[in-house]
Amino acid sequence: MTPKKKKTALVTGGAGFIGSFLAEELLSRGYRVYAIDNLSTGSLDNIEHIRDNPNFIFEVGTILDETLMEQLISACDIVYHLAAAVGVRLIIEKPVDTIETNVLGTETILKLANKYDKKVLITSTSEVYGKNEKIPFKETNDSVYGPTVKSRWSYACSKAIDEFLALAYYREKKLQVVIVRLFNTIGPRQTGQYGMVVPTFIKQALLGHDITVFGDGKQTRSFTDVRDVTRALADLINFPN
């Protein structure tokens, strides 16, 4: 009897905080996992414990490299697209990288996934809701963003364009896509280097420093454990469009 071929997944941003946990989750489910990361915000330390797994193949590279991405996407059954410029500090300091990575990178992923007919899950963000204060949020609500002179809003707009583009591929070209908006994912391996709030708070507390709070301190946020997020991502790609 011919052995059953392992299902193969590609994780972009696979050495990142969320991507490394997703790769781990997929491996535990019996997948063969390809991962790519340019290590701009990801780290080899995040995947050190799975580097020796024969079902884990890691490439250092950028999703803007169309030749490399074509090799990876053509070899996989499904694509989890997590690679993006993230973190408020990074977005403000490198707005060009933010826009190019988020928009042009996603365009490359979708174009090649469509070429090889591979289902794609795209991780979007709660930032897409913008300044809308209507609670609870709905995907059908209008979005209100800040002015273009504020680099901070380039992230929300670029991820919204990712969603528009993914849905356009679905409607026009029948590409199977899943879009997930993540809210403040936290957990082990997360760094405060790029402005992530919980690691920043914890570091300040451990050092005995004042906790930095912006605004009047009355705002609330929803936080989700990264292990809950990655289990959900692994399940959601299997839902029919």
* Residue appearing with tokens 């692994």: 234
> Does a structural domain hold residue 62?
yes
Label the pairing between strands 177-182 and 56-60.
unpaired
> Does a structural domain hold residue 150?
yes
| Catalytic site residue from 31, 129, 145, 155 | 155
**Half-sphere exposure for 238 (CA within 13 Å, toward CB):** 8
Residue 72 has a pLDDT of 98
Stretches where the chain sits below pLDDT 70 are 1-4, 87-89, 192-195, 241
Residue 200 has a pLDDT of 79
Residue 123 has a pLDDT of 97
Residue 4 has a pLDDT of 63
> Does a structural domain hold residue 176?
yes
Q: What CATH number has the domain bearing residue 141?
A: 3.40.50.720
Strand order in the sheet with 177-182: 56-60, 32-37, 8-12, 78-81, 119-125, 177-182
> Does a structural domain hold residue 200?
no
- The whole-angstrom separation of Cα 95 and Cα 155 is 8
- The whole-angstrom separation of Cα 15 and Cα 36 is 7
163 phi and psi angles, rounded to 5 deg: -65, -45
Residues facing residue 185 across a β-bridge? 224
Spatial CA neighbour of 82 closest among 9, 164, 2, 144? 9
Residues 6+ apart with CB under 8 A from 48: none
> Does a structural domain hold residue 206?
no
Predicted TM-score of the model (pTM): 0.90
Residues 6+ apart with CB under 8 A from 1: none
Q: How many domains does the chain have?
A: 1
Render 63-130 in DSSP notation, one character per residue: TT-HHHHHHHHHH-SEEEE-----SHHHHHH-HHHHHIIIIIHHHHHHHHHHHHT-EEEEEEEGGGGB
Residue 31 has a pLDDT of 97
Spatial CA neighbour of 84 closest among 5, 1, 159, 167? 159
Query: pLDDT tens, 32-67?
Result: 999 999 998 899 999 999 999 999 999 999 999 999
Cα(first)–Cα(last) distance of the chain, in Å?
A: 33
> Does a structural domain hold residue 241?
no
> Does a structural domain hold residue 127?
yes
Is 155 among the catalytic positions? yes
117 phi and psi angles, rounded to 5 deg: 55, 55
- The whole-angstrom separation of Cα 101 and Cα 108 is 10
Residue 80 has a pLDDT of 98
- The whole-angstrom separation of Cα 77 and Cα 87 is 30
Q: Which domain holds residue 123?
A: 8-192+223-236
Residue 93 has a pLDDT of 80
